[in-house]
Structure 1
């Protein structure tokens, strides 16, 4: 992995562990044992680094969507929620959960990039729910988009709240999301 990719990777972890406004280039330089100037060479501002992290997650979302194309809708939802479980590893949360907290402190280009990532996630989830409802697997009465919003807000809230409460609370909410879809 080259220096630029290492910076993005560490920036991603710091954003998801601490929040975007709670770390500096100095934290990254200490981790990599390089000077801040080396980070500024690749990312002149924190905004450019955050944009690169968001772009990384756009790519990960597209790979995820490709990887689950040929499986049934319930398995897609299970795998989708598993992404949030993996994101919670080592005290991190998802990129959407972390960046949403700081949304109004971002430059417009970061807000736009985050909105696009969120919309792409929401649109995929809405399509998957629609597919599952058409197959008769999912049972719910609200619109597909509203159900997708409910799932995302539940899982994002669960990852935040379970930092304060207990890990099993996150697992319980995740299981309830799935059970609520199929009952």
Structure 2
């Protein structure tokens, strides 16, 4: 892992642990073991780093979309749900869930990148829901975009709520989403 990648990973951890506004370059320097000017070499401003963190997640999402492009709608749904299972397993929160709480204080460039990431996720979920409905695999009455928002918001929320309740609740919500879509 390069120093730049380590800085991005550390910033991602801090954003999803403390929030965007609650960490500084000094926090990153302490974790990475470098001096603050070295971080500025890679990211002149915190905004640049925030954009890079979101860009990292966007690239990962696009890779998943590409990897599953020729899979069934159920496999795509399982892939989407596994993103949140992984977040839960690592005791993190979703990047969108974390940054949306700071949204009004974020620089416009970060807001735009976050919206791009969110729109990409929403479009992907809408697409595989439409595909599944067209094939007769999924059954739902809402518009695909509405159903996608319901599913995404459930997953963002249950990752956080299940910290207070139990892992069983996370599993129940995940299974319930799939079961509801597969109802005939």
TM-score, with normalisation over the residues of structure 2?
A: 0.95
- Partner residue of 2:136? 136
Q: 4+ residue stretches of structure 1 with deviation over 2 A?
A: none
User: Is the CA contact (8 Å cut-off) linking 1:73 and 1:129 kept in structure 2?
Assistant: yes
- Partner residue of 1:179? 179
Give the gaps of 5 or more residues in structure 1: none
Q: How far apart in 1 are the matches of 2:121 and 2:134?
A: 20
Q: How far apart in 2 are the matches of 1:42 and 1:86?
A: 28
Q: How far apart in 1 are the matches of 2:23 and 2:66?
A: 33
Secondary structure of the 1:74 match is helix
Secondary structure of the 2:74 match is helix
Q: How far apart in 2 are the matches of 1:9 and 1:15?
A: 10
- Partner residue of 1:123? 123
Secondary structure of the 1:59 match is helix
- Partner residue of 1:82? 82
- Partner residue of 2:159? 159
- Partner residue of 2:69? 69
TM-score, with normalisation over the residues of structure 1?
A: 0.96
Query: Number of aligned pairs?
Result: 183
Q: How far apart in 2 are the matches of 1:173 and 1:25?
A: 37
Larger displacement relative to structure 2 (122-131 or 94-103) = 94-103
Q: How far apart in 1 are the matches of 2:31 and 2:10?
A: 8
Larger displacement relative to structure 2 (148-157 or 40-49) = 40-49
Secondary structure of the 1:163 match is coil
Q: How far apart in 1 are the matches of 2:88 and 2:29?
A: 24
- Give per-residue Cα distances to partners, 1:66-116, cap 9 Å, x unaligned: 111111101110111101111223321121221122111100111111011
Distance 1:181 1:125, change over 3 A: same
- Partner residue of 2:103? 103
Larger displacement relative to structure 2 (35-44 or 60-69) = 35-44
User: Is the CA contact (8 Å cut-off) linking 1:17 and 1:91 kept in structure 2?
Assistant: no
Give the gaps of 5 or more residues in structure 2: none
